[in-house]
Amino acid sequence: MASGFFAILDDIGALMDDVAMTTKIATRKTAGILGDDLAVNAEKATGFLSSRELPVLWAITKGSLLNKLIIVPIALLLNVFLPAAIKIILVLGGFYLAYEGAEKIVEYLFHRSKKAEHLIETHEQKGEEAEKEKIKSAITTDFILSAEIVIIALGAVTEQNLTIQIITVSAVAFLATVGVYGIVALIVRMDDAGYRLIKKSNDKGLLTSVGQILVKALPVIIKLLSIVGTIALILVAGGIFAHNIEYLHHLFPDLPATLKELGLGLIAGLIVVGILQGGGKVISLFKN
C-alpha cells in the first residue's frame, strides 16, 4: 500500500519535471510574441483617468483569462481532430491584427484632426461608453494574440503525450496573462509611484529625483508603446502570414524576416482598411 502511494508520488514528480522542462521550452519560443503582446496591451490599457486605470486593466485581464479558457481547449481539440483549421483561424486573426495596425497609421497620417476632435467629444460626453469600447477592443486584440501564443506553445510540445500538452499549454497561457498584465500595471502606475516618492521625501533628495524621473518618463513610455504596439500588430500579422501561407513563406527568401513580415502585415492591413472604408462609403451612398 505504502509502496503504491510512493510510486504515485514518483510518477507525479516525474510528470512535473517534464512539464517544467516543456513549459520552459514553450515559453522561450513564445518570448517574441509575448513582447509584442506586452507592447500592444500596454498601449491599449493607457489613456484613461488615473482613477480608472487599474479597474480598466483588471477588466482587460479578466477578459484575457476568459479568452485563454476558451482558446486552450479549442486549440487542443483542433490539434487532434482538425489541425488544418488552426492555420485558417490564425490567418483570419492575422488580417484583424493587420487591420488594427494599418488603421492606426492611416488615422495618424490622414485623419489626425478628426480623431482628436472625436477623442475630445468622447471624453466629454461618452466617457463610460468609450471606456467599454476600448476594453472590448483590447480583449478582442488579446484574443488573437492569445491564440498565437497558445498555438506556438502547443507546437513546442506536439511530440509529448496529451497530459503534458494540456498542462504545459495551460501553464504558458496563465503565465502569459499574469506576466504581461502585471508589467502593464507597473507601467501605468509609474506616475503615482513617482508622486508618492516625491511626497515621501518632502520634495528633496534622491527619492525626489527618482520620483520626478518616473513622472516625466510615463508620457514618453506611453507614446513609445503606442508606436511599438502599432508596429507589433503589423509584425505579428505578417509573421502569421509568412509562417502559415506556403507561397508567402518562400517569397523573397533573401529579404530579412522582420522586414518581410512588416511588409506583409502592412500590405494586408491597408487592403482590409481600403475594403472596409470603401464598403462603408458605398453603403452610405445607397442610404442617401
The DSSP symbol for 251 reads: S
Q: How far is CA 34 from CA 64, 209, 277, in A?
A: 13, 32, 31
Residue 240: helix, strand or coil by DSSP? helix
Label residue 259 by pLDDT band (50, 70, 90): very high
Label residue 6 by pLDDT band (50, 70, 90): very low
Residue with the bigger pLDDT between 61 and 126: it is 61
pLDDT higher than 50, residue 124: no
- Distance between CA 182 and CA 157 in Å, rounded? 26
Label residue 264 by pLDDT band (50, 70, 90): very high
- Mean pLDDT for 151-165 is 77
- Mean pLDDT for 156-179 is 81
Q: Locate 51 and state its grid cell.
A: 482613477
- Quote the domain boundaries for residue 156: 2-287
What is the radius of gyration, based on Cα positions, of the chain? Answer: 22
pLDDT higher than 70, residue 280: yes
Residue 91 pLDDT: 87
pTM of the model: 0.70
Label residue 267 by pLDDT band (50, 70, 90): very high
Q: How many domains does the chain have?
A: 1
pLDDT higher than 50, residue 125: no
Q: Locate 143 and state its grid cell.
A: 484574443
